[in-house]
Amino acid sequence: MTENNKVIDKSRRAPKRDVDGVFLLDKDATLSSALALTKVRGIYRANKGGHTGSLDPLASGLLPICLGQAAKFSSFFLEGSKKYVATGKLGIVTASGDADGEIVERHEVTDEVSHVEEAIEKFTGKIIQVPPVYSAIKVNGRPLYKYARKGQEVEVPKREVEIFYIKLLDKTSDSFTVEVYCSKGTYIRTLIADIGSELGCGAYVTMLRRIEVDGLPKGVMHTLDELQTMADSREDYTDFTKMDKLLIPIDEALNYLPRINIPYDMAVALCQGQRQSDLGRCTFENCNIDFEGTMQIRTDSLFIGVGHIQKGVLISDRMMSDPLRTNKGLYK
């Protein structure tokens, strides 16, 4: 369809709208997380949007894009353990741990790759990592990469992470590819660099792909090209029916959390900002009144938000916007 000999972008002609849900994007390695969010939000014509934390600039794979009210809960969608596939290049150490960084060391590679299986076994279980200086971890309120770009030295905080397994998928004379299943907060660039250090020749990441996040549907990702093709193929540019079916509902994306079911009158009060202490009237799934972590809150099977219990009192952390009125018509 053309107008004045110019191609019309159908998605841009549609008015912006309120749409809630999580789009599981298969991010291309050439695309930044911020630009990916902008493009997905634009195709959906969503009024609001956010992502769940950046993938490394050169990384590909699963990036949940949160539209509408899902953006409120974005910090919870990547709480689960994660799986990655990564390739390490032996003999070179870079400042950032990937191909984007300045080369700081070069070493001759001989037969080190023959010892990869032995080396990776040393990094399973709970380990201590020192994240790369080119990372978003904040020190004194500033991301580490801002210090690094200015050449400023700062003490990088160590962190304990857990590597549930590392599978060797492939190896060449100077590289190796692994699948890693790890806890939240693990830096794969650091892991590959540490394996290279263990081998004595150094290593850096040449390919990194996130393939799964516990709690989110597995094997369900869509590329930006797929989404754009779906948008362009619509006869009615205001019809988002098929595209909206790709969105994961907020409650489904958070269903991995333990659950507290509260009576309707308590839900009304909680939605109005009142903490609730009469938890003997509530029921629990995969947790109890002494549970200290984040839990999903429901009433009559309706998801209304997430919260936590502190000294026997239920406190809301994030709530859907007026969920009871939206879903029931009026408060009871």
Give the H/E segment covering residue 13.
helix 10-13
Torsions phi, psi of 71, nearest 5?
A: -60, -30
If you search the block for the tokens 């939206």, which residue do you land on?
326
If you search the block for the tokens 């969503």, which residue do you land on?
46
> 58-67 in b/e burial notation, b at 16+ Cβ within 10 A?
bbbbbbbbbb
Give the H/E segment covering residue 144.
helix 144-149
* Known catalytic residue at 56: yes
Q: Tell me how crowded residue 176 is: count the other CB atoms within 10 A of its CB.
A: 25
Residues paired with residue 127 on neighbouring β-strands, in sequence order: 161
Strands 142-143 and 138-139: antiparallel
Query: Which ranges of 154-283 does DSSP label H, i.e. alpha helix?
Result: 188-199, 224-232, 241-244, 250-253, 264-271
- For the chain, the helix, strand and coil percentages under 3-state DSSP, each to the nearest 5: 25, 35, 40
Catalytic annotation, pick one of 9, 20, 28, 56: 56
Nearest to 63 by CA among 32, 17, 87: 32
- Asked if residues 65 and 36 have their Cβ atoms less than 8 Å apart, the reply is yes
- Asked if residues 307 and 295 have their Cβ atoms less than 8 Å apart, the reply is yes
Question: Cα separation of 224 and 85, whole Å?
Answer: 21
Q: Please state the three-class secondary structure of 292-312 as a single string.
A: CCCEEEEECCEEEEEEEEECC
Token reading at 152: 């400023």
- Asked if residues 124 and 204 have their Cβ atoms less than 8 Å apart, the reply is no
Q: Active-site residue numbers?
A: 56
